[in-house]
Amino acid sequence: MTNGMLKQLVISAGIISSQLMSSTVLAETDPVSAEQKSAILEEHLPLYELRTFTEIFDRIRNSYVEPVDDKTLFQYAIDGMLSNLDPHSDYLLPEDFSDLQESTTGKFGGLGIEVGIEDGLIKVVTPIDDTPAERAGIKSGDFIVSLDGEPVREMSLNDAIDRMRGEPGTDIELNIRRKGEPDLLEFVLTRAEINVASVRSKDLGEGIGYLRITQFQDKSGSELVSAIEELQSQAQQNNTQLHGLILDLRNNPGGVLDAAAEVSDAFLSSGLIVYTEGRISESDFRFSATEKTVAENTPLIVLINGGSASASEIVAGALQDHKRAVIVGTQSFGKGSVQSVLPIGGDKAIKLTTARYFTPKGRSIQAQGIQPDVYVEQSEVTTYEQSYYKESDLPGHLSNGDDDNAENPQKDLDADHEVSDNLLSKDFQLYQAYTLLKGWSVFQHHAYPAVKTTANKTQQDLKQD
């Protein structure tokens, strides 16, 4: 036990003792019954439950088939107390506390895989992009049956995570059960230093930019702003403008609450983003948008799925409530609670659920999730060739007449088809988002000049009158 922990225990014991002492004095000087005395004591401390705990602790220590030291028993008791509150509260030992701090900075050693526990097995929530797990073909929804030949049913979730992490360059064997596969799948992965890129971007063509956030980290907000500014700069260099953005939050398990607010703020110039409510005032927060934004009027689509949780749902919910974005995909995970990390003794901590969060319109996401505006399942699409004769294929066809002067539009058309076909074959949900934005940009391109011309004509007619 550390000196810090010992000091805290001594301080706590002193408080309890003083409370008990004052209660005893009250019991001796005031004419109260035995029942009232007991009630006064239990108001400050559940004495009966503590006696029961002490008796059980003593029985285990003295009668269990194998000796167990007091420190281990206390740790088991704390683990059980927190794990039975909800799936997200936990007791963090020094190495666990360090791992949590690493995850907020985006750097750790291991396989690059987000996992949970279901039916006693370790379930893959999502493999992190560009990591050994993702490159090996580990998929969301896979169940890990064994690690290096040892069944995971005999491990806690933390033990399994510790087993998967390790020195870069070392190997680990995973046996995986996958839906639709009759036999276990065997993977041998080589651990690596995982530097998770919080935000990555790509120009999809046609003035449409793609933004992917894999996990909300401390710098996700600033990284997103930089990525958007880079896409805007690329568009200007191509003598065009950014017609639309796709923000991909699929399989994003969440992360830092402040980062989610900063990401939302990049697209909003005013209004509430998210608020939290807990039992104590320190758990209540409100995050609002600032006037500064890099993409206030750019059409936006947000992609979500069942792996989008927590901070991802905060962003999707805020942008949906403000009607700032169209949400495309499938229903999100539904984690609407906030965990606070409370240090204990300097090198340990408890991760405790302290509040629920709500979207600007007061919607709770807990166990419900975000419903997309446009529901699109991920699909494998097989295209087939259709042969049509065109006028230009007919022998002796007339020339266009402008062939010498006109630029060849076929080059741009082929490039556009190449982007569409690539997305269609690899990512149907992203393809749908791309086509929605492309259709919107085409509509704006055709509709706006017509309105402008009509308005100008009306002004000229008024002047003539």
> Higher-confidence residue: 460 or 26?
460
Q: Is residue 457's pLDDT more than 50?
A: no
- Average pLDDT (142-159) is 88
| pLDDT computed for residue 4 by the predictor | 34
The span from the CA of 339 to the CA of 353, in Å, is: 4
Rounded to 5 degrees, what are φ and ψ at 214? -85, -30
Contact partners, residue 250, CB within 8 Å, separation at least 6: 303, 304, 305, 307, 308, 329, 429
Candidates 287, 288, 282; CA nearest to 355 is: 282
- The residue ranges of every structural domain in the chain are 3-92, 107-195, 199-375
Buried b (16+ CB within 10 A) or exposed e, 93-110: eeebbebeebbbebebbb
Q: What is the pLDDT of residues 342-351, one digit of tens each?
A: 888 778 899 9
| pLDDT computed for residue 414 by the predictor | 57
Q: Which CATH number fits domain 107-195: 3.40.50.2300, 2.40.340.10, 2.30.42.10, 2.60.40.10?
A: 2.30.42.10
* Arch. (CATH architecture) of 199-375: Alpha-Beta Complex (3.90)
Look at 7-21, 196-210, 220-234, 308-322 and tell me which has the smallest mean pLDDT. 7-21
pLDDT-derived band at 102, boundaries 50, 70, 90:
low
Q: Is residue 463's pLDDT more than 50?
A: no
| pLDDT computed for residue 27 by the predictor | 29
Residues 424, 383 contacting (CB under 8 angstroms) = yes
The span from the CA of 351 to the CA of 200, in Å, is: 29
pLDDT-derived band at 198, boundaries 50, 70, 90:
confident
Look at 182-186, 195-199, 207-211 and tell me which has the smallest mean pLDDT. 195-199
Q: What is the pLDDT of residues 264-276, one digit of tens each?
A: 999 999 999 999 9
| pLDDT computed for residue 103 by the predictor | 64
Phi-psi region of 9 (alpha: psi -120 to 50; beta: other; left: phi over 0): alpha
List the structure tokens of 78: 């704390």
Q: Is residue 220's pLDDT more than 60?
A: yes
**Triad 177, 183, 185: Cα angle to 5°:** 55
Indicate the burial class of 128 (C-beta count within 10 angstroms; 0-12, 13-18, 19 or more).
Answer: buried
The span from the CA of 220 to the CA of 266, in Å, is: 11
Contact partners, residue 364, CB within 8 Å, separation at least 6: 336, 356, 357, 358
Residues 322, 271 contacting (CB under 8 angstroms) = yes
DSSP type of residue 255: B
pTM of the model: 0.69
User: Which among 210-224, 314-328, 377-391, 404-418 has the top mean pLDDT?
Assistant: 314-328
- Average pLDDT (435-458) is 63
pLDDT-derived band at 159, boundaries 50, 70, 90:
confident
Q: Active-site positions?
A: 310, 321, 335
| pLDDT computed for residue 157 by the predictor | 82
Contact partners, residue 273, CB within 8 Å, separation at least 6: 261, 264, 265, 287, 288, 289, 314, 318, 360
pLDDT-derived band at 13, boundaries 50, 70, 90:
very low
- Average pLDDT (212-225) is 92
Q: What is the dihedral of CA 135, 136, 139, 144, to 10 degrees?
A: -140
Percent share of the chain, pLDDT over 90: 49
Q: Is residue 209's pLDDT more than 80?
A: yes
Look at 141-145, 285-289, 368-372, 402-406 and tell me which has the smallest mean pLDDT. 402-406
Percent share of the chain, pLDDT over 70: 78
